[in-house]
Amino acid sequence: MHIKDLLNEVINTNLDKLILSNVKQKSYDYHKITARLVSIKGEAVIQLEKFTKTQAMHENLSLDEAINKLVLYAEYYKQMDVYTSTHSYAVKMKNITDIHVSKKQLQNVKQVKVKSQNREKQYILSEGMNIPALVDLGVFTKDFKIVNTKYDKYRQLNRFIEMIDNVISKEDKDYYHIVDFGCGKSYLTFVIYYYFTQIKKKRVKVVGMDLKDSVIKHCNEVASKYGYKDLHFISGDIKDYVSEEPIDMMVTLHACDVATDIAMFHAISKDARLLFSVPCCHHELNSNIKADSMSFVLKHGILKDRLSAIYTDAMRGQLLEICGYNVDMLEYVDDEGSLKNIMVRAKKQGISKEKKARLLKELIVFENEINGKCMLHKLLEGNKLL
């Protein structure tokens, strides 16, 4: 059976989800690709989500376009799993012309929930707002409409601002010193500056830091172009940031693997009052985690990945609490299958010696059980901050 014949059967309005996995060559760009049915302005389309080691990229296609694209992608994978309203398909693929399909009928017909991608939600940063920096960064067109391919980025930025707003709106404070570590192209840094200065009418000092000189140069040029006098970008390492005034807020968005731990460590060591962090991949713990009682779970790579992500963020949260922060773990965006879907939100409030000792003991017992310690713990311990 040819893979295209199967795709013609399953890519329709009954599709729930399709997953390409078990890549043939580890060097291939995408270690996994998923497809699902979504609705955009009332039209059914297939949304592909392609996962690299550090990113998840989206592409919206018509049903016919999706079939043709998936035929091309399938060449690089050994396995495909498909779920429709009536059946599940487990597909083993030697190549696209030689596939083995195990098809099972569901006991109960499932109604496929088509996720709407229409822009109906009322965002803090709404389409049409005069945010010129987002034009330079390619999120808005010149007439401040959202660039189609940047809608996911736009939604992520709004979600981050919503979570900041939930805290800031309850504070009676006129000035904020904010640092974005690992700012990259600085989409988030620019919208934070816009939110505080234009929407909340607050005075700020916003600093973006990254190791890439070319990116920092461009961001400073954009900030200067629009007269953002209290927004600056610095090329350098997090550890080298020095300030004569306290840090009110530190933010990180998708800092990869232990870069999140390093950013959290510096937030703690520099006594940042607020921390908003959306971690990215979680490779460190994955290579060390083991537990006899969980061997039947950890033998499956996908389950080990997810447990490593959950355990790492749980340990980070516990360590922040030990260091005197009140911690919330929040859903960041609602993309299915993403391991980058948690925001760690923390606010400094202090902690008693008794509670600190109890939480630290709980953490150490857990670490011993799974044979793993996250980088944040190592950094705090090595610098005698615990």
| Strand-strand pairing, 77-84 and 87-95 | antiparallel
H or E element that contains 362? helix 353-370
**Per-residue pLDDT, 110:** 62
| Residues 57, 281, 362, 292, CA torsion sign | positive
CA atoms within 13 A on the CB side of 236: 11
Q: Which CATH architecture has domain 132-382?
A: 3-Layer(aba) Sandwich (3.40)
Rounded to whole angstroms, how far apart are CA atoms 239 and 264?
11
Q: What is the DSSP letter of 293?
A: G
Q: Which regions of the chain are under pLDDT 70?
A: 109-121, 334-340
**Per-residue pLDDT, 112:** 62
**Per-residue pLDDT, 334:** 59
**Per-residue pLDDT, 121:** 60
Prediction pTM value: 0.68
How many residues are given for the chain? Answer: 386
**Per-residue pLDDT, 337:** 42
Buried b or exposed e, range 271-281, using 16+ CB within 10 angstroms: ebbbbbbbbbb
Rounded to whole angstroms, how far apart are CA atoms 287 and 163?
32
The tokens describing 237, both together, are 């390492």
The tokens describing 367, both together, are 């670490």
**Per-residue pLDDT, 290:** 86
**Per-residue pLDDT, 199:** 94
Rounded to whole angstroms, how far apart are CA atoms 335 and 332?
9
CA 187 to the chain's CA centroid: 14
Nearest partner of 196 among 129, 124, 136, 147, judged by Cα: 124
Rounded to whole angstroms, how far apart are CA atoms 202 and 197?
5
**Per-residue pLDDT, 336:** 44
C-alpha distances out from residue 80 to 12, 38, 63, 71, 111, Å: 17, 20, 18, 11, 22
C-alpha distances out from residue 287 to 73, 107, 129, 290, 299, Å: 28, 39, 45, 9, 12
Ranges assigned E (strand) in 291-361: 325-331, 342-348
Domain ranges of the chain: 3-116, 132-382
Read off the pLDDT of residues 227-280 as tens digits, 9 standing for 90 and up.
Answer: 999 999 999 887 788 888 999 999 998 888 788 999 999 999 999 999 999 998
Rounded to whole angstroms, how far apart are CA atoms 145 and 142?
7
**Per-residue pLDDT, 242:** 85
Phi, psi of 146 (to 5 degrees): -75, 130
